[in-house]
């Protein structure tokens, strides 16, 4: 049985006080979520230390949204994987399309980040996904394959066992245009087949989340697909009732 995971990516939203209130609300409702579902919240860096304290002893895990591709030193404005791990966060989102697109994060940079995250005991939630024009030109499978081969396939199988993947078609992120459950299933199965080339049967154990306009209304159908192991939720993760409803959708 693969893990079932629902992770909220808050992106650049909420002040620390608003984040504290949102976590408080999630904690008050988390008992409604079946025990087998892992729940993760990914807050801005500024919230990690208090969030780790607020979540300690609960079943909600904590994630950062990024970390540096350098270990330490003169990199003004950067936050290292070691610093993130020291906050008490257990996960870090890497390879999000917004980082790839707006901050020029290449596959090479993402491999460095992924390695550093793993060396520091953080579990990467590694995002992959094609843009609209890539799907329209029918190269979406090749794009995703390249993203996986450049980073995930460079890891050892022990490292892979710590990684969660998230398929986020860029055209579905924040657009209200969700992938159909068939499109999600087709790509998730393909991702598993790419992993299997290097990792064999271990590919069956990797949790692959879907992200892109996932909502309480569409999550049940998405999560019912055999290769969809949960969701990486943006906008709907900022509303406690919606996020909890999604986590109850398996």
Binding to ligand 13P by residue 168, rule CB under 6 A?
yes
Nearer to ligand 13P, 127 or 194 (CB): 127
Phi-psi region of 59 (alpha: psi -120 to 50; beta: other; left: phi over 0): alpha
Stretch that binds ligand 13P, among 55-63, 156-164, 220-228, 232-240 (CB under 6 A): 232-240
**Is position 96 annotated as part of the catalytic site?**
yes
* Out of 22, 51, 179, 214, the residue judged to bind ligand 13P by CB under 6 A: 214
Among 44, 114, 234, 243, binds ligand 13P (CB under 6 A): 234
Q: Say whether residue 43 binds ligand 13P (CB under 6 A).
A: no
Please tell me whether residue 94 binds ligand 13P under the rule CB under 6 A: no
State yes or no: residue 233 binds ligand 13P (CB under 6 A).
Answer: yes
Residue tagged active-site, from 96, 98, 105, 130: 96
Q: Give the residue closest to ligand 13P by C-beta.
A: 234
Catalytic status, residue 168: yes
CA 150 to chain centre: 18
105 makes contact with ligand 13P (CB under 6 A): no
Choose one: 21-29, 148-156, 193-201, 206-214; the region binding ligand 13P (CB under 6 A): 206-214
Q: Which residue in the list 38, 105, 130, 168 is annotated as catalytic? A: 168
Catalytic residue list:
96, 168
Residues near ligand 13P (CB under 6 A) are 9, 96, 168, 173-174, 211-214, 232-236
């Amino acid at each position: 049985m693969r893990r079932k995971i629902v992770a909220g990516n808050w992106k650049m939203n909420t002040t620390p006080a608003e984040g504290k209130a949102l976590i408080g609300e999630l904690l008050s409702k988390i008992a409604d979520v079946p025990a087998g579902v892992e729940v993760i919240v990914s807050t801005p860096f500024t919230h990690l230390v208090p969030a780790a304290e607020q979540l300690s002893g609960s079943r909600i895990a904590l994630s950062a949204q990024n970390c540096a591709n350098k270990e330490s030193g003169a990199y003004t404005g950067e936050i290292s994987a070691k610093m993130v791990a020291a906050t008490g966060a257990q996960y870090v989102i890497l390879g999000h399309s917004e980082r790839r697109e707006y901050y020029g994060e290449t596959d090479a940079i993402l491999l460095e980040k992924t390695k550093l995250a793993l060396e520091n005991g953080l579990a990467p939630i590694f995002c992959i996904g094609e843009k609209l024009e890539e799907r329209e030109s029918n190269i979406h499978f090749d794009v995703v394959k390249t993203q996986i081969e450049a980073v995930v396939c460079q890891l050892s199988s022990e490292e892979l066992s710590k990684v969660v993947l998230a398929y986020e078609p860029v055209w579905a992120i924040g657009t209200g245009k969700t992938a159909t459950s068939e499109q999600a299933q087709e790509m998730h199965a393909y991702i598993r087949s790419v992993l299997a080339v290097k990792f064999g049967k271990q590919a069956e154990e990797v949790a692959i989340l879907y992200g892109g306009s996932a909502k309480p209304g569409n999550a049940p159908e998405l999560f019912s697909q055999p290769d969809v192991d949960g969701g990486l939720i943006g906008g709907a993760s900022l509303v406690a009732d919606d996020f909890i409803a999604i986590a109850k959708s398996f």
